[in-house]
Structure formats: C-alpha cells, structure tokens
Structure 1
Amino acid sequence: MPQKRKRYDKQFKIAAARVVLGGEMRAVDLARELGIKDSTLRRWAQEHGEMGDPRVNLVDGAFDVEARNRLWVDGIAYIGTGEGWLYLAAVIDAFRRKVVGWSTSTSPDMEQQELLLDRLLERVPEGAKPVLHSDMGWQYQHEKWTRRLKKARIAQSMSRKGNCLDNGATEQVFGHLKDEFFRGRTWPDFESFKADLDAYVVHWNTRRRQVKLNGLTPEEFRSQSLVA
C-alpha cells in the first residue's frame, strides 16, 4: 500500500489507483489514510487505472461531490401501467440532481441503453471526465456499454452486489418522479406517456425546486456554482 507523503508523483498515483481498483481498500478509507480528498483519489484511479471493470466501485457511497460533471449516477425506473411495464433509463448528476440524459422504452434492452448513451455523450462538456456509477445490472456489464464508456474516457463504477442503498441518488429522483408525475394517472398510449415524461424531466431540471439545492432548481444551482 502506498505510504503517506507530501508530494505525489505519477508512480505513486498509479500505485494508489491499483490499490483501489484491485479492491484492497475503499477509495474513502485510502484517501483518509493518505490525507487527501477521496475525489482526488477517484480521479487518480480514473486516470491511471483500467476503466470499464465491473468489479470496481469508485464511489463507495460518497455521492456528495464538489462540482458538476464529476459523478453521474445511472439507473432504471420500472413503471407499471394497465398496458404493461414502461422503463425509464436515466443518468443524474450527483452534484446538482439534474437529469443529464434519459430514454424511455417498453423494453429494458441494450437498444434503450445505447440510445441513452447517444444522448448522454452529446452532453459531455469538453474536458469533463465524469465517473458514471450504476448497480451491477447486466446492461452495465455488456460489452457495448463498457466499450463506449472507455472510448469516451468516462470511468465506470459499479455498486457491490446486493448493496441496494449504494444507488440512492437515482432512487431519490425516481421516487419523486413516481409521486409527482405518475401516481394516479393513466395514458392512452406509450407515445403520450413518453411525451409527458419528457416534459416532466424538463420541469425537474428547470422549474422543480429542491430542498437539497437550497431551494433552487438544478439549472439555477448550476448557474450559481458557475458564478461562485
């Protein structure tokens, strides 16, 4: 294990990254021992480690990040209707709770995930290198998913098996969505549902005020952070 020191050269960063990626220590614990921020250690793992390894959890429950586009959280909401199940795949910025990409489908297949990635990768700001965290669903271990993330230089992080609380950021957003948008409503067809859901996501990002963002919307919170 790397020893604490005042300055960190490239070889030291590589060694620390391997400790985290190899599962020897959690990023949060090693960062505390080295006297650095866990976000710094996650960045080292992203820069010097192997991305797209489904065994790696770069987040370890530390969803409180200091800036936008550092940590994105992925998940799928299962929405039951009288006509069957509908599926919302969404990626949320952990810093401002903004939905940065989403797709809706009647089947949770790779076609839906690739559409999500198409939309998501269009929105990655120049120079940004976010960590994308998810559970261990089969979609996130699929070769098409891991290959495209690696090509885009987005580090993949996955929860440990059976840790249902480690994806709390998406579950909070999905919970509000079901309470505020879906519960008690019906739609004549999938296209009507999809159009209304798209409108709700825009509402969530631009008009829905949130206690965790000091009463601001995700877009207002983003503007405030840019000024600060």
Structure 2
Amino acid sequence: MQPDPCHPDEVWVTDTTYIGLASGFAYLAAIIDACSRRIVGYAVSRYIDTELALAALDAAVESRRPEHGRCIHHSEGAVNMRAPPTGKRWTGTG
C-alpha cells in the first residue's frame, strides 16, 4: 500500500535532471514534498553523484526541519547516487 501524503513533510521524493550549458552540463537534484508538490531543497553540481543527492537532502532538512521519524524520503532510480548505507545518517534530525 502506498502512503497517502496528506500533510507536508510526511513524504519527500527526489528528482534529478541535467541542465545544458555552453561548457557542458550541470545536474540538479530537487527534493519535492509529495503533499504540497513544492521543492523543499535542491542542489546543483557538475557531477551526478552521492554528494549531489545528499546536498539536496541536507538543504531540505535545513529548510523544513521535519519531525524526527515522521518523514519518508524516496529516491527511485537514483542508481548513480547510491552510497554505502550508514544507518544513522539522519539520526538526531528533527
């Protein structure tokens, strides 16, 4: 069963895209609140990597300060941005 996000900061999803520049590409990672459909955090980089994804997530956490344990973050298809699991990455946030 899929969660039905009826309140802000219950479910966040990540979307990534590239931006064409005269000198190549830049990548944008955006964290979107599933309830409001608003961008709650983002980051831009020349590289599509774990650091880009975590910078966007850090920006979202900093701007929204979700209640600890109440927000689900989903990042489907972020194969290029996988990092070894830390298990405690967001412990203490909230």
Q: Does 1:126 align with 2:67?
A: yes
Shift of 1:127: 4.2
Question: Greater strand share, 1 or 2?
Answer: 2
- Cα pair 2:28 2:44 within 8 Å, conserved: yes
1:113 to 44, 53, 56: 53
Question: Structure 1 length as normaliser, TM-score?
Answer: 0.35
Q: How many residues align?
A: 89
Q: What is the CA RMSD across the aligned residues, in angstroms?
A: 2.2
Output one character per residue of 1:126-166: Cα deviation in whole Å (capped at 9) or x when no partner.
34621111123231x311xx426x4426xxxxxxxxxxxxx
Instruction: Kindly indicate whether structure 1 or structure 2 has the higher relative contact order, using CA contacts under 8 Å at least 6 residues apart.
Output: 2
Q: Which runs of 5+ in 1 are unaligned?
A: 1-27, 29-37, 40-63, 154-228
Question: Structure 2 length as normaliser, TM-score?
Answer: 0.74
Question: Greater helix share, 1 or 2?
Answer: 1
1:75 to 15, 18, 40: 15
Output one character per residue of 1:172-225: Cα deviation in whole Å (capped at 9) or x when no partner.
xxxxxxxxxxxxxxxxxxxxxxxxxxxxxxxxxxxxxxxxxxxxxxxxxxxxxx
- Deviant stretches of 4+, over 6 Å: none
Q: Which residue of 2 aligns with 1:98?
A: 38
Which whole-Å CA distance do the structure 1 matches of 2:31 and 2:69 have between them? 15
Q: Which entry has the higher C-alpha Rg, 1 or 2?
A: 1
- Cα pair 1:91 1:99 within 8 Å, conserved: yes
Output one character per residue of 1:108-137: Cα deviation in whole Å (capped at 9) or x when no partner.
123322322322232332346211111232
- Cα pair 1:69 1:128 within 8 Å, conserved: no
